[in-house]
């Protein structure tokens, strides 16, 4: 990856927790799925859309069955129906355009993300610490962080919404080795590896109605962008 000033890059893989009946999906999801893999700066910002190259679906056709299962669209019944049929929703993944030379093309980008996902299975990490996806069960936030840190060897970043885990992020250096995720400053001035998380959190089934409302907003936003410039090279 290119360097910007004296700031180091890191890679973050974001596992998205969406359980139960996702708006347009008929089957429940009982594990973390992939949200993305992207470069970050140490100040909490990240580059995007660094190269304007057309997405080549043919390059990732061998991965499509695996992507459908572990990097699914949670907003469409199938990847090919997303964005008014303008192409698979993976074509709108723009973070890969900034990941060279760690990853250099579509196949390498998605293969790398999948490899990291399987090697560092968040659902299994949590289960090994006695933490399970459950409706209503509360866990101490520190226990969730410790379970990941014990298995992964570095601290994650956890994003919550209304007391529930929405995203769990694992971070890597440019050699794809685990590293602590960037700390953020909380309202009391202390460093935190969480966003909007209370002391006790849940890993529950998401409300399909809430997801459905989010779906319309996401699709409207993406469809307003110029199609064909949002992918990896």
Determine contact, residues 168/18, Cβ cutoff 8 Å.
Answer: no
Give the whole-angstrom CA distance, residue 233 versus residue 224: 22
Q: Return mean pLDDT, the chain.
A: 68
Tell me which of 223 and 117 has the higher pLDDT. Answer: 117
- Out of 9, 92, 93, 167, which one is annotated catalytic? 93
* Per-residue model confidence as pLDDT tens digits over 89-103: 445 455 556 766 677
Q: pTM score, two decimals?
A: 0.70
Active-site residue 35, yes or no? yes
Which pLDDT does position 75 carry in this prediction?
53
Q: How many CB atoms lie within 10 A of CB 195?
A: 15
Active-site residue 93, yes or no? yes
Q: Is 64 exposed, middle or buried (0-12, 13-18, 19+ CB in 10 A)?
A: middle
Give the whole-angstrom CA distance, residue 141 versus residue 144: 5
pLDDT at 113 over 60: yes
The model's confidence at residue 161, banded by pLDDT at 50, 70 and 90, is: confident
Which pLDDT does position 187 carry in this prediction?
45
Tell me which of 98 and 84 has the higher pLDDT. Answer: 98
Lowest mean pLDDT among 13-27, 74-88, 162-176: 13-27
Give the whole-angstrom CA distance, residue 214 versus residue 66: 25
Q: How many CB atoms lie within 10 A of CB 104?
A: 13
Q: Is 203 exposed, middle or buried (0-12, 13-18, 19+ CB in 10 A)?
A: buried
The CB-side HSE value for 180 (13 A sphere, CA atoms) comes to 11
- Out of 9, 92, 95, 167, which one is annotated catalytic? 95
Active-site residue 27, yes or no? no
What's the average model confidence in pLDDT over 181-196? 57
Listed ranges 90-99, 145-154, 162-171; the one with the highest mean pLDDT: 145-154
Tell me which of 109 and 228 has the higher pLDDT. Answer: 109
Tell me which of 215 and 154 has the higher pLDDT. Answer: 154
The domain made up of 9-223 has a fold known as Ribonuclease Rh; Chain A (3.90.730)
Listed ranges 10-14, 71-75, 81-85, 91-95; the one with the highest mean pLDDT: 71-75
Q: For residue 116, which of 10, 11, 233 has the smallest C-alpha distance?
A: 11
- Out of 35, 92, 106, 167, which one is annotated catalytic? 35
Q: Report residue 90 CA to chain centroid gap.
A: 13
Tell me which of 91 and 228 has the higher pLDDT. Answer: 91
Which pLDDT does position 123 carry in this prediction?
87
Question: Domain-by-domain residue ranges, the chain?
Answer: 9-223
Percent over 90 (pLDDT), the chain: 16
């Amino acid at each position: 990856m290119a360097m910007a000033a004296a700031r180091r890059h890191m890679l973050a893989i974001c596992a998205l927790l969406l359980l139960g009946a996702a708006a347009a999906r008929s089957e429940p999801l009982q594990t973390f799925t992939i949200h993305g893999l992207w470069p970050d700066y140490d100040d909490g910002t990240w580059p995007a859309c660094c190269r304007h190259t057309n997405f080549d679906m043919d390059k990732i056709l061998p991965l499509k069955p695996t992507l459908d299962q572990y990097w699914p669209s949670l907003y469409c019944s199938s990847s090919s129906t997303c964005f008014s049929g303008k192409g698979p929703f993976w074509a709108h993944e723009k973070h890969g355009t900034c990941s060279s030379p760690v990853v250099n093309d579509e196949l390498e980008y998605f293969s790398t993300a999948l490899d990291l996902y399987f090697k560092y299975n968040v659902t299994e990490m949590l289960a090994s610490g006695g933490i399970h996806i459950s409706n209503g069960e509360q866990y101490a936030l520190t226990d969730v962080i410790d379970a990941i840190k014990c298995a992964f060897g570095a601290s994650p970043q956890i994003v919550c919404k209304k007391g529930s885990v929405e995203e769990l992020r694992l971070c890597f250096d440019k050699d794809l080795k685990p590293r602590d995720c960037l700390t953020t400053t909380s309202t009391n001035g202390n460093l935190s590896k969480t966003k909007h998380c209370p002391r006790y959190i849940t890993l529950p089934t998401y409300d399909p109605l809430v997801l459905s409302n989010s779906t319309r907003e996401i699709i409207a936003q993406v469809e307003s962008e110029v199609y064909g410039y949002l992918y990896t090279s």
